[in-house]
Protein backbone atom coordinates (compact mmCIF):
# COMPACT_ATOMS: atom_id res chain seq x y z
CA UNK A 1 0.00 0.00 0.00
CA UNK A 2 1.49 3.31 -1.05
CA UNK A 3 1.37 6.31 1.21
CA UNK A 4 -0.71 9.22 0.08
CA UNK A 5 0.82 12.68 0.10
CA UNK A 6 -1.15 13.56 3.22
CA UNK A 7 0.08 10.42 5.01
CA UNK A 8 3.63 11.27 3.93
CA UNK A 9 3.29 14.75 5.43
CA UNK A 10 1.77 13.38 8.62
CA UNK A 11 4.65 10.91 8.93
CA UNK A 12 7.19 13.74 8.66
CA UNK A 13 5.32 15.86 11.22
CA UNK A 14 5.28 12.95 13.68
CA UNK A 15 8.99 12.35 13.00
CA UNK A 16 9.81 16.02 13.65
CA UNK A 17 7.75 16.10 16.85
CA UNK A 18 9.54 12.97 18.04
CA UNK A 19 12.86 14.63 17.21
CA UNK A 20 11.95 17.69 19.29
CA UNK A 21 11.19 15.51 22.30
CA UNK A 22 14.41 13.51 21.96
CA UNK A 23 16.40 16.70 21.28
CA UNK A 24 15.15 18.20 24.55
CA UNK A 25 16.48 15.18 26.42
CA UNK A 26 19.76 15.35 24.48
CA UNK A 27 20.15 19.02 25.41
CA UNK A 28 19.71 18.03 29.04
CA UNK A 29 22.36 15.34 28.71
CA UNK A 30 25.00 17.69 27.25
CA UNK A 31 24.04 20.57 29.56
CA UNK A 32 26.74 19.68 32.09
CA UNK A 33 29.62 20.11 29.60
CA UNK A 34 31.78 23.11 30.59
CA UNK A 35 32.40 24.57 27.12
CA UNK A 36 29.48 26.22 25.34
CA UNK A 37 31.00 25.52 21.91
CA UNK A 38 31.19 21.79 22.72
CA UNK A 39 27.54 21.73 23.85
CA UNK A 40 26.45 23.54 20.69
CA UNK A 41 28.55 21.23 18.50
CA UNK A 42 27.06 18.07 20.01
CA UNK A 43 23.50 19.41 19.74
CA UNK A 44 24.13 20.45 16.13
CA UNK A 45 25.67 17.10 15.25
CA UNK A 46 22.65 15.36 16.76
CA UNK A 47 20.34 17.48 14.62
CA UNK A 48 22.40 16.86 11.47
CA UNK A 49 22.38 13.10 11.99
CA UNK A 50 18.64 12.87 12.61
CA UNK A 51 17.20 15.64 10.42
CA UNK A 52 19.20 15.48 7.19
CA UNK A 53 16.89 14.31 4.41
CA UNK A 54 17.80 12.63 1.12
CA UNK A 55 15.74 11.76 -1.94
CA UNK A 56 14.13 8.36 -1.81
CA UNK A 57 15.17 5.68 -4.26
CA UNK A 58 11.56 4.54 -4.61
CA UNK A 59 9.89 7.89 -5.30
CA UNK A 60 11.91 10.88 -6.45
CA UNK A 61 9.57 13.44 -4.87
CA UNK A 62 9.79 11.88 -1.41
CA UNK A 63 12.47 12.59 1.16
CA UNK A 64 13.62 10.12 3.80
CA UNK A 65 15.94 10.58 6.79
CA UNK A 66 19.52 10.12 5.65
CA UNK A 67 20.43 7.80 8.52
CA UNK A 68 17.65 5.43 7.51
CA UNK A 69 18.63 5.59 3.83
CA UNK A 70 22.28 4.94 4.70
CA UNK A 71 21.54 1.86 6.82
CA UNK A 72 19.21 0.43 4.18
CA UNK A 73 22.02 0.88 1.67
CA UNK A 74 24.43 -0.92 4.02
CA UNK A 75 22.05 -3.84 4.45
CA UNK A 76 21.30 -4.03 0.71
CA UNK A 77 24.99 -3.51 -0.21
CA UNK A 78 24.51 -0.40 -2.39
CA UNK A 79 27.78 1.57 -2.26
CA UNK A 80 26.54 4.27 -4.65
CA UNK A 81 23.60 5.10 -2.35
CA UNK A 82 25.92 5.05 0.68
CA UNK A 83 28.28 7.46 -1.08
CA UNK A 84 25.57 9.90 -2.08
CA UNK A 85 24.12 9.82 1.45
CA UNK A 86 27.54 10.49 2.97
CA UNK A 87 27.99 13.40 0.54
CA UNK A 88 24.71 14.92 1.76
CA UNK A 89 25.85 14.38 5.37
CA UNK A 90 29.15 16.11 4.61
CA UNK A 91 27.34 19.09 3.14
CA UNK A 92 24.96 19.29 6.12
CA UNK A 93 27.82 19.01 8.62
CA UNK A 94 29.78 21.74 6.84
CA UNK A 95 26.72 23.99 6.95
CA UNK A 96 26.32 23.21 10.65
CA UNK A 97 29.95 24.17 11.29
CA UNK A 98 29.47 27.47 9.45
CA UNK A 99 26.39 28.26 11.55
CA UNK A 100 28.27 27.27 14.71
CA UNK A 101 31.18 29.56 13.80
CA UNK A 102 28.78 32.45 13.13
CA UNK A 103 27.03 31.80 16.46
CA UNK A 104 30.33 31.76 18.33
CA UNK A 105 31.42 34.96 16.61
CA UNK A 106 28.14 36.64 17.49
CA UNK A 107 28.43 35.62 21.17
CA UNK A 108 32.01 36.85 21.27
CA UNK A 109 31.02 40.15 19.66
CA UNK A 110 28.18 40.67 22.17
CA UNK A 111 30.49 39.94 25.12
CA UNK A 112 33.05 42.47 23.88
CA UNK A 113 30.39 45.08 23.30
CA UNK A 114 29.04 44.82 26.86
* Structure confidence by residue, pLDDT tens digits, 25-34: 999 999 999 9
The answer to whether 89 and 59 have CB atoms below 8 angstroms apart is no
Task: Indicate the pTM of the whole model.
Answer: 0.81
Domain boundary assignment for the chain = 5-113
Asked if the model's pLDDT at residue 1 lies above 60, the reply is no
Mean pLDDT of 12-18: 94
Give every CB contact of residue 61 below 8 A, 6+ residues apart in sequence: none
Asked if the model's pLDDT at residue 4 lies above 70, the reply is no
pLDDT in tens, 44-80: 999 999 999 998 877 778 899 999 999 999 999 999 9
* Distance of alpha carbon 60 from alpha carbon 35, whole angstroms: 42
Amino acid sequence: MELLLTEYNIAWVVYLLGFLIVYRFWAGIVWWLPLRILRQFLKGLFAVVLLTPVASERAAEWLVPAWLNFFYAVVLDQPDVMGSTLFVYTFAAAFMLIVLAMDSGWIRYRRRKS
